[in-house]
């Protein structure tokens, strides 16, 4: 069975006003807040090749109806959330892999 891949694309404007584009891989909510796991998307193939391929994890907050993404400053919080995302993404990958083997 073929499934159409339809990624969630997110544009983020940084503090310097520069726009960055990401694919949203997953989002979770814990008792400490809401978080999102993003993978950078590049228009230029050379930039894509030079990228480390690391997932970016940011904290989601809302103010006056606007959604903001911010770096997680607390190391323990970052590690906890990072481990949650890692477990979820590994499970997702294994699920897709086993479906493809049928």
Give the CA distances from residue 19 to residues 13, 16, 40, 82, 87, in Å, rounded to whole numbers and listed in that order.
4, 9, 11, 24, 30
pLDDT at 31 over 70: yes
Q: Would you say the C-alpha torsion 34, 38, 43, 46 has a positive or negative sign? A: positive
Grouping H, G, I as helix, E, B as strand and the rest as coil, residue 7 is coil
Model confidence, pTM: 0.72
Instruction: Give the per-residue pLDDT at 100.
Output: 47
Q: Which residues contact 62 (CB under 8 A, 6 or more apart)?
A: 68
pLDDT at 96 over 80: no
């Amino acid at each position: 069975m073929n499934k159409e891949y339809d990624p969630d694309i997110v544009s983020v404007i940084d503090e310097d006003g520069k726009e960055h584009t990401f694919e949203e891989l997953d989002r979770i909510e814990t008792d400490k807040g809401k978080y999102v796991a993003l993978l950078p998307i590049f228009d230029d193939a050379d930039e894509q090749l030079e990228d480390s391929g690391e997932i970016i994890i940011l904290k989601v907050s809302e103010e006056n109806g606007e959604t903001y993404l911010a770096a997680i400053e607390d190391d323990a919080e970052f590690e906890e959330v990072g481990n949650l995302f890692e477990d979820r993404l590994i499970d997702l990958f294994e699920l897709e892999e086993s479906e493809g083997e049928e």
